[in-house]
Amino acid sequence: MLVLGPKKQRELLLNLTINLNGCTVVSNKTVKDLGVTLDPDLSFEEHIKTVSRTAFFHLRNIAKIRNFLSKNDAEKCIHAFVTSRLDYCNALLSGYPDKALNKLQLVLNTAARILTRTHKKYYITPVLASLHWLPVKG
């Protein structure tokens, strides 16, 4: 259960428990609903952190086997395990500050570098354009 409202009122209900038909429901700092992590401020910081952590995990694994994959197969893996996570419920992040979306942009940049085997010292913008990938930031 997630308690929403002004911070001062939430602090009064810090350890709220409700008993429903013998089942005890306890309040949490974050809850997951349809794959989106929500916090009391609805800031989506925890959701962005979770998505980027999971995406980087998959990118590390794809990078380990990248030499054995064709570009087409690597692209399918990246779309299946990484960009699909970035795209899921991204409408919730519209209007969100670019600084907060930087972690998700780093995920996309890393995915493009792994796919195209581009070194870190080269600009990523032309690589993203050649792949026809839109930036995360508005």
pLDDT in tens, 12-53: 777 777 788 888 877 778 778 888 888 877 788 899 999 999
The pLDDT > 70 percentage for the chain reads: 97
Q: What is the pLDDT of residue 99?
A: 86
Please give the helix or strand (H or E) that residue 33 lies within, else none.
strand 31-33
Alpha helices in the chain (DSSP H): 7-12, 45-65, 71-78, 84-87, 102-116, 125-131
Tokens representing 101 are 């979306």
Q: How far apart are CA 111 and CA 98, in angstroms?
A: 19
More confident of the two residues 27 and 68:
68
Q: Given the DSSP bridges, would you call strands 31-33 and 36-38 parallel, antiparallel or unpaired?
A: antiparallel
Q: How far apart are CA 134 and CA 138, in angstroms?
A: 9
Q: Say if residue 73's pLDDT is above 80.
A: yes
